[in-house]
Amino acid sequence: MISFGKAFKGDKVIWCIFVLLCVISFLEIFSATSTIVYKQQNFMMPILRHLAFLVAGLGIAMLFQGISYRFFALIMVLGIPLSVILLIVTFFLGEDVNGAQRWLSIGIFTIQPSEIAKISMIVFFAFILSRRTEDNEATLFKWMLGCLGGMCLLIAPENLSTACLLFLVCFLMMFIGQISMMRLLKVGGAIAAAGILIILLLKIMPDSSNDYMPDRLATWKGRIERHGGSSGVESDSLKYVITDENYQVAHAKIAIARGGIIGLPGSGVQRDFLPQAYSDFIYAIILEEMGLAGGLFVLMLYLALLIRSGILASRCERKFPRYLILGAALMLTIQALVNMAVAVNLIPVTGQPLPLVSRGGTSTIITCLYFGIILACSAKQTDEEYADEEEDVDADGNEIEEIKSEEEGKYE
């Protein structure tokens, strides 16, 4: 019989975080999918669908935890060209949901190519950074910047928030990977200046220009204006009026206010009003039903994931698994913080799901892949396989069998 320790390899703290997030996801999706149940007239189908993805994701995480981190380079080799092709096809033939073509229907399945692009770029950056030296840094930096810029340009037209998220995580990976600070400052300054210029242009454009600009630009302009408080409210009597423009944010605030400290378990009301209660605004439902205490607990789970991943990365003697762990943890944690910030109205609506908690298909599977990568890299630190590899590979990944044979010859 396979023991518990052998079945669940890798760091046990990461496994605990994974399981807790899955449990919270199951409970909250069960509650938040009331609108889907009403439309489909099927009480169990939405939760069974989500449970199936969670179980599949658990299986993927358990499968990946036993794979050597060296094979993760295949994600980069296969994932980057595949995601480029799918993103281009989605731009022309994608399924329009809420005014954005982010999904591609293939038979009975619907996939989100940007999720494949994100994990592929994380592995690509980890691989390139692991090969960085002072001599080849300039060349590798150009490769990284070119690939990242091209991928973000493909994602941005229909999913700007994901493109910004991917750029931020890869930028942090370059900082952690000790890329020259001067190079990073130049790129960061250029991107910040371009972002400020675009925001200013969108804010000063007259409302009549909405009829002529692309739909996504009009959407971004509206979100910036609503979040900045420049939506044209004329009097205090209209300050608390719920309109089509502030509908989601207003009901999210109501959900947070109703939750209080300990929440209203199973008695949430705003799940019936929020259009994306099971996805973009699920954190507002968590705050309503689990209260501030539950919301802080979920926040601490993601922060614990980042901190624990940092500890695991510091124990890695090789650069590739170290950057893999950090890249995966940064992506999950920053995306979670963005989702939470939207729910409490700190930043404009972005459409980013809460990793592993929000209802999803592609996003749930890819999130489990991130956990599988972290678990696989951490498993080598507690496994006998890691010790075996130490005998055959030095810290830079170079084989040292010849050195071993020479040393053994001295004692013969």
The Cα–Cα gap between 101 and 107 comes to 17
- Count of alpha carbons within 13 Å of 335, Cβ hemisphere only? 31
The Cα–Cα gap between 77 and 120 comes to 8
Encode pLDDT of 93-132 as tens digits: 877 766 667 778 776 678 888 999 999 999 999 999 999 9
- Percentage, residues of the chain above pLDDT 90: 37
Per-residue model confidence (pLDDT) at position 39: 66
Determine the straight-line distance between the first and last CA of the chain, rounded to whole angstroms.
Answer: 43
The Cα–Cα gap between 123 and 68 comes to 14
Phi and psi at residue 245, to the nearest 5° = -75, -40
Give the chain's radius of gyration (CA, Å): 23
Per-residue model confidence (pLDDT) at position 321: 92
Cβ proximity of 27 and 308 under 8 Å: no
Task: Return the amino acid letter for 323.
Answer: Y
The Cα–Cα gap between 143 and 125 comes to 10
Per-residue model confidence (pLDDT) at position 111: 85
CA distances from 281 to 138, 250, 271 (A): 42, 11, 9
Per-residue model confidence (pLDDT) at position 407: 45
Q: What is the DSSP letter of 135?
A: T
Task: Return the amino acid letter for 393.
Answer: V
Tell me whether residue 399 is in a domain.
no
The Cα–Cα gap between 165 and 168 comes to 5
Per-residue model confidence (pLDDT) at position 13: 93
Cβ proximity of 389 and 401 under 8 Å: no
The Cα–Cα gap between 314 and 325 comes to 10
Tell me whether residue 400 is in a domain.
no
Give the residue numbers spanning the domain of 105.
Answer: 8-390
Q: Taking Cα atoms as reference points, which of 366, 389, 391 lies closest to residue 377?
A: 389
Tell me whether residue 134 is in a domain.
yes
Query: Exposed/middle/buried for 189, CB within 10 Å: 0-12, 13-18, 19+?
Result: exposed
Tell me whether residue 411 is in a domain.
no
Per-residue model confidence (pLDDT) at position 173: 95
Per-residue model confidence (pLDDT) at position 149: 92
Task: Return the amino acid letter for 234.
Answer: E
Encode pLDDT of 41-72 as tens digits: 666 777 888 889 999 999 998 888 888 888 88
Neighbouring residues of 10: CB distance < 8 A, sequence distance ≥ 6? 65, 374, 375, 376, 378, 379, 382
Neighbouring residues of 82: CB distance < 8 A, sequence distance ≥ 6? 116, 120
Comparison of pLDDT for 401 and 161, the residue scoring more = 161
Encode pLDDT of 358-390 as tens digits: 888 888 999 999 999 999 988 765 544 444 444
Per-residue model confidence (pLDDT) at position 383: 47
The Cα–Cα gap between 405 and 402 comes to 5
- The β-bridge relationship of strands 95-97 and 109-111 is unpaired
241 band by pLDDT with thresholds 50, 70 and 90: confident
Cβ proximity of 250 and 242 under 8 Å: yes
CA 326 to chain centre: 13
pTM given for the model: 0.84
| Region 309-325 average pLDDT | 92
Strand, coil or helix: 56:
helix
Encode pLDDT of 247-293 as tens digits: 778 888 888 888 888 878 877 777 777 777 777 888 988 999 899 99
Cα dihedral value 180, 187, 223, 349, nearest 10: -20
CA distances from 134 to 59, 129, 137 (A): 41, 11, 5
Does pLDDT of 197 surpass 90? Answer: no
Tell me whether residue 347 is in a domain.
yes
244 band by pLDDT with thresholds 50, 70 and 90: low
Per-residue model confidence (pLDDT) at position 1: 42
Tell me whether residue 408 is in a domain.
no
Encode pLDDT of 4-49 as tens digits: 556 677 889 999 999 999 999 988 888 877 666 666 666 677 788 8
| Region 323-329 average pLDDT | 95
Q: Taking Cα atoms as reference points, which of 127, 216, 93 lies closest to residue 163?
A: 216
Q: For the chain, how many structural domains are there in total? A: 1
Mean pLDDT over the full length of the chain: 80
Phi and psi at residue 105, to the nearest 5° = -90, 125
Does pLDDT of 402 surpass 50? Answer: no
Tell me whether residue 412 is in a domain.
no
Tokens of 122: 């994380």
Tell me whether residue 396 is in a domain.
no
